[in-house]
Amino acid sequence: MYEAVIGLEVHCQLKTHSKAFSPDSTSYGARPNSCVDPVSLGHPGTLPVLNRRVIECALKLGLATRCRIARRSVMARKHYFYPDLPKGYQISQFREPICTGGFVDIGRRIRLTRIHIEEDAGKSLHDRDPHATLLDLNRCGVPLLEIVTEPDLRTAKEASVFLQKMRQLVRYLDISDGNMEEGSLRCDANVSVRKASSSGLGVKTEIKNMNSFRHVERAIDHEVARQIRVLEAGGTVTEQTRLFDAAERQTRQMRSKEQAHDYRYFPDPDLPPVEVTEGMRRAILLTLPELPDARRHRYEEDLGLPAYDAGVLVEERHIAEYFEATHAELVRVVRDADPAACAKVVSNLVMGDVMRALKENRGAAFALAPERLAELAHLRMAGKLSSTGAQELFARMSREDGSAAAVAARHRLLQVGDEEALRPVAAQVLRDHPKQVGQYARGKRTVLGFFIGQVMRRFDGSPDPRRVRELLLLMLDEKVS
């Protein structure tokens, strides 16, 4: 039996207006080679200046993952030749990164080796002309954080879960949009296999530049199977860099693996060390939001929400904050409110109507302010709205002004539970259907649903189905007794 040993290198593009070392734009989708300047292109005589926002982002992520923050870290030059790297080197960190240690919890702790600052390279385009490689240098100098794990992952699924947790975290911290399809989050995987009884490490291969959770899983699964086949056939796994072919669902060799010394790292002579004071550290710590795991635990323990609800609500920070604002307003207006009961009503509305509207509008602003959704939730808790009525009221409130009660009344969505209003309609239904009344008298209790449906259709408004059922049972029992 073999087991996989997996470590990840995650490249996270930071949400900044300007590049890591120059004031040029980081706009995505701009015309090729329009977001470049002499600094990002490495023209002679230019001097880089580190963007302060990049340091703040690194500190946020480091503190959120419980890393040790270096009081002094050093920017280094990483030398290698590639057509889309016009300087001939990449500014990064090597021996003295800004963050070390830390962990991410995926059900068990995955240790982090380091988080360091670096700039991105450009992009080589091979698909527009079969006889040429085109270069788009807009990405040169775009700020990144590289998150490097220890080889603690054991399955492709774990690697995918780790990446999803990292995406969620950087979005919560508002340091990256985490859009994998735009390259804001990319992943390299170091994969090796060993006998399950062994404590040593096998020879690893690196799979480069995967940009979706599905690709990460498929690439690692394929590479693990490939390495096992090589070993079972008596061969030797060689250290190399591989690419994932999504169409063929397999990895293929790109080049033999470089070693660290190939890059000829040395401190960048144009950039001073990064100094992080205790005051800076404390100031950043105060800006951190409540993180997803802590928030999910609070929703389950303090609000009594099911684990599923809590997981859905905390997935995106703006959803969680909207839920909490609505819940707080509902608790405020409901007399002797039970916070847990309020939480479940709001949770159902957010996970249903609200998230459906956001999806249909492709992430546009919330259709209702928290105060208005709380009004709707209040009507639902009071039994004045059916689930169907609540859905229709949400849609109408998204288009119309007025309180929830006013809009509901305008469109006759409020459930009527008053016996004096319901009894005449129910009595007429029973008079009009003596055959079914006789069936009920002979023990055919399923006919009750027929009567309920008739009352609901005839009533001018929105009767409460529960009260209709109770009233019909009472009246039928009176007739057959």
How far is 396 from 392, CA to CA, in rounded Å?
A: 6
Q: Are 119 and 141 in contact (CB under 8 A)?
A: yes
Instruction: Please state, in angstroms and as integers, the Cα–Cα distance from residue 190 to each residue in 80, 148, 232, 241, following that order.
Output: 20, 10, 20, 9
Q: What is the pTM assigned to this prediction? A: 0.85
Instruction: Please state, in angstroms and as integers, the Cα–Cα distance from residue 340 to each residue in 331, 344, 345, 352, following that order.
Output: 10, 6, 9, 18
Q: Are 225 and 29 in contact (CB under 8 A)?
A: no
CATH fold group of domain 416-480: Arc Repressor Mutant, subunit A (1.10.10)
Q: pLDDT band for 384, please (50, 70, 90 cuts).
A: confident
pLDDT of 17 over the 90 cut: yes
Kind of pairing between the strands at 103-105 and 109-119: antiparallel
Residues of the chain with CATH 1.10.10.410: 416-480
Q: Are 137 and 122 in contact (CB under 8 A)?
A: yes
For the segment 233-244, what is each residue's pLDDT rounded down to a tens digit?
A: 999 999 999 988
Q: Is 353 helix (H, G, I), strand (E, B) or coil?
A: helix
Determine the pLDDT at residue 10: 97
Q: Is 231 helix (H, G, I), strand (E, B) or coil?
A: helix
Q: Are 162 and 7 in contact (CB under 8 A)?
A: no
Identify the bridge partners of residue 314 per DSSP, sorted by sequence position: none
For the segment 115-156, what is each residue's pLDDT rounded down to a tens digit?
A: 999 999 998 887 777 788 899 999 999 999 999 999 999 999
Q: Which two tokens stand for residue 134?
A: 């085109």
Long-range Cβ contacts of 434-440 (<8 Å, 24+ apart): 437/476, 437/479, 437/480, 440/476, 440/480
Name the residue with tokens 């459930």.
415
Determine the pLDDT at residue 252: 84
Q: pLDDT band for 318, please (50, 70, 90 cuts).
A: very high
